Each structure stands twice: as C-alpha cells, then as structure tokens.
Amino acid sequence: MFVNRTSINGLEICYRVTEGNEPLTVFVHGAGGSSGVWSKQQDGLDGLVKTVAIDLPGHGFSSGNAFSDITDYAKLIANFIPETKPFVIVGHSMGGAIAMELSLTFPNRLLGMVLVCTGAKLKVDPNILESLTLGKVPTGMLERLFGDSYRYDTMQKIIGEMNKVSPHVYQADFLACNKFNRVNDLRRINIPVQIIAGEEDIMTPLKFAEFLNQNISNSKLVTIKGAGHMCMLEKPHEVTNAILDFLKNL
C-alpha cells in the first residue's frame, strides 16, 4: 500500500488505498491513531474490496492540527470522498463517533456502517483530560487499550509507537470524544450497521455496543473474544472476516 496525498481546505490529507470491488469502504482510526491501525484489514481485503484508510488532520502523515469536534471530522470525511456512489464507513472508537455523525448529518452518502469498539456517548475521565492539558499522557492509559490475552512484547511495541504521538493530539481528540453524544439520535440511523466489540474492552465496554445494537434498528453485534479496545490489531482475522461478511450481505 502506498501513501497517497490530497488537499482538503488547505490541509494535506494522506491515505492508503487497496483495489477491489465496490462498495468503496473507508476506514477511520480512533483518537491519537493513524491509518496504520487498519493495515491488517486492508491487507485482508486487498483484491476483494476497494478500501481507503485515512490519516485525520494532525495524525499519521497528514498535516494540520487535530480537531476538537467530531462534527468537523465528519465534514472532512464528507469532503474527502467524492459525491458519486454511496460508500461504507468503518470507524474505530472516535472513528466510530465520526461515522455515526456522518450517517446522521449526511445520511444519503452512506451505504452501510461498521462501528468498532465505540459508543453513542464517549465521556472521558476528567483526570485524563487534565493530564493531557499539562502535556502528559497519563501513566497506564495506553496499556488499558489491550485485552489480557494479547502478547506483551507486541503490545509494548505498539505502545512505543503510540507514545510518539503528541499529548496535544490526544487532548484534542479526547475533547472531541467528550463532547460527543448521539444517544437520543440512534433510531434515526436507517442504514445497515455492523457493530464489533472486544469482549475485554474496558475503554468502551461491551455494554456500549449492546446499547448501540438495541437502538439502531438495522444492526448486528459481533463480539470478538479475547480482545480489548484495539481488537483490529489483537484479532485482525476475526475483525476482517466480520467486515467482509457484512460487505457481502449488503
């Protein structure tokens, strides 16, 4: 996969593409993340489905600063994808919030949606926000992203990369998450939705996914056993297969 670049509202936005059949499937990472978190899914779908994984502003290779509002991220995605055929969006955590916001603000743009380890409301611990305001990533915050069964050495390698992300990026993203609340709007979502949850997720617990499933009419819940909040890295084949099954049934 090559890193591609485009300009949106003066920002250089980078993204990774794989080729395949329609529908176009757009992957959106979570807070402090990048398109790289979806590399296993893009590899698994390469040749089968056309995919795009985007680096949001201030993340990965994209320029600019991270946004502190989910609506701004949703508008950027809407501007990023040409208004031709409806597409599928796959969002992890904050990316799931962006996906929901996009589905509610631009309902005619989406063919379907996959929500991975996310919730209709993403309240953030005030202590985390306070620490990030001081320019510090709270001790142990990143370790909480993974399930107990994930390999320690691999987890530490990933956390090492996450620690390179500026606390100001995490701060903006978590402020955006903290303001996000679509609890009362879920019944307005009418497109097919696949909800994927990590059984051991403590950041967005399984009950968050169950609430989404109960309140989005055309939805299905898939639970990934032995996985935490970063289930697409912890159990890549299971997550990829769940996404592929969803796309086949659209």
pLDDT in tens, the chain (250 residues): 668 999 999 999 999 999 999 999 999 999 999 999 999 999 999 999 999 999 999 999 999 999 999 999 999 999 999 888 899 999 999 999 999 999 999 989 999 999 999 999 999 999 999 999 999 998 888 889 999 878 778 888 888 888 889 999 999 999 999 999 999 999 999 999 999 999 999 999 999 999 999 999 999 999 999 999 999 999 999 999 999 999 999 9
pLDDT of residue 158: 87
pLDDT of residue 28: 98
pLDDT of residue 225: 96
CA distance to 21, 127, 229, 245, per residue, from 92 (Å): 23, 23, 9, 18
pLDDT of residue 77: 97
Residue 130 CA, chain-centre distance (Å), reads: 24
pLDDT of residue 20: 95
Residues contacting residue 151 through CB under 8 Å, at least 6 positions apart: none
pLDDT of residue 154: 81
What letter does residue 124 receive in the DSSP assignment?
A: -
Distance CA 47, CA 235 (A): 21
pLDDT of residue 151: 77
pLDDT of residue 2: 66
pTM over 0.85: yes
CA distance to 160, 161, 164, per residue, from 157 (Å): 5, 7, 12
pLDDT of residue 45: 97
pLDDT of residue 1: 61
pLDDT of residue 150: 81
